[in-house]
């Protein structure tokens, strides 16, 4: 899962949100350098990623898309699942997407000083560009896919990948609709555990 899901699955808790947001940038046991609530958010991020990577329905989505992205398919599916999450927003939460996004931006900006340097530097531009909103429309999703593809060591035809995804949207939506409630329940249980 990508930014939208990680933020939503922080359940409005600012410490969890911070940890969940920085999770990819905190390596190994460095999570222990953060306060307890943020530690839990980092571990929640790892739980979300692990659950997602091992879920058979996600594997089904990955297999369907693999001809377009090869070994890089899982992170592309993560990005595209964020779009499906927004398309299906009302089924996931009673909070409007706009209210969720604004609250997330505000909480992250309040805690920017606690982020790894690379994120501290990027965050103002991300918030100014309303990065969570970018997953709402096809154009924004394609922009995110393109930006991600430039970080890879191999060339991925993002236009073909996006065409495939949007052409078979109902199949991917069915996968997501099966998978995401299970992920949300798993994340919520972890967030409430001691």
What is residue 30's predicted lDDT score, i.e. its pLDDT? Answer: 87
Which whole number is the average pLDDT over 10-31? 94
Hey, how many other C-beta atoms are within 10 angstroms of the C-beta on 12?
A: 14
Take residue 43 and report the two structure tokens written for it: 């571990």
Distances (CA, A) of 63 to 68, 73, 90, 127: 10, 8, 28, 33
pLDDT band at residue 99 using 50, 70 and 90 as cut-offs: very high
Question: Could you give the CA distance from residue 46 to residue 43 in angstroms, rounded to a whole number?
Answer: 5
Hey, how many other C-beta atoms are within 10 angstroms of the C-beta on 74?
A: 17
Q: Identify the burial level of 18 via C-beta atoms within 10 angstroms of its C-beta, where 0-12 means exposed, 13-18 middle and 19 or more buried.
A: buried
What is residue 2's predicted lDDT score, i.e. its pLDDT? Answer: 87
| 29-77 tens-digit pLDDT | 889 899 999 999 999 999 999 999 999 999 999 999 999 999 999 999 9
What's 114's DSSP letter? G
CA torsion 40-46-50-53 (nearest 10°) is 140
Query: Is residue 168 predicted with pLDDT exceeding 90?
Result: yes
Query: Is residue 194 predicted with pLDDT exceeding 90?
Result: no
Q: Which residue has the tokens 């699942």?
A: 81
Which whole number is the average pLDDT over 160-178? 96
Which whole number is the average pLDDT over 117-129? 94
CA angle 24, 87, 172 (to 5 degrees): 75
Three-state DSSP class for 35?
coil
29 or 96, which is more confident? 96
| Domain definitions of the chain by residue range | 3-192
Take residue 57 and report the two structure tokens written for it: 């329905």
Which whole number is the average pLDDT over 158-168? 96
pTM of the predicted protein model:
0.93
Identify which of 143, 186, 151, 165 has the alpha carbon closest to the alpha carbon of residue 66: 165
What backbone torsions phi and psi does residue 136 show, to the nearest 5 degrees? Answer: -75, -40
pLDDT band at residue 183 using 50, 70 and 90 as cut-offs: very high
Question: Could you give the CA distance from residue 49 to residue 3 in angstroms, rounded to a whole number?
Answer: 12
pLDDT band at residue 146 using 50, 70 and 90 as cut-offs: very high
% the chain with pLDDT above 90:
91
Which whole number is the average pLDDT over 160-164? 96
Three-state DSSP class for 93?
coil
């Amino acid at each position: 899962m990508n930014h939208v899901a990680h933020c939503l699955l922080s359940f409005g808790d600012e410490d969890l949100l911070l940890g969940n947001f920085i999770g990819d940038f905190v390596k190994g046991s460095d999570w222990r350098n953060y306060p307890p609530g943020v530690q839990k958010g980092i571990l929640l991020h790892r739980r979300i990623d692990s659950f997602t990577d091992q879920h058979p329905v996600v594997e089904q989505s990955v297999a369907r898309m693999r001809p377009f992205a090869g070994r890089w398919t899982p992170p592309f599916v993560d990005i595209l699942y964020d779009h499906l999450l927004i398309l299906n927003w009302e089924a996931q939460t009673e909070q409007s997407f706009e209210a969720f996004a604004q609250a997330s931006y505000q909480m992250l900006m309040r805690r920017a000083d606690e982020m790894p340097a690379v994120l501290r530097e990027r965050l103002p531009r991300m918030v100014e560009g309303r990065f969570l909103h970018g997953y709402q429309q096809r154009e924004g999703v394609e922009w995110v896919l393109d930006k991600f593809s430039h970080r890879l060591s191999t060339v991925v035809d993002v236009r073909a990948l996006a065409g495939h995804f949007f052409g078979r949207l109902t199949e991917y939506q069915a996968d997501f609709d099966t998978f995401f409630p299970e992920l949300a329940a798993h994340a919520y249980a972890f967030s409430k555990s001691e």
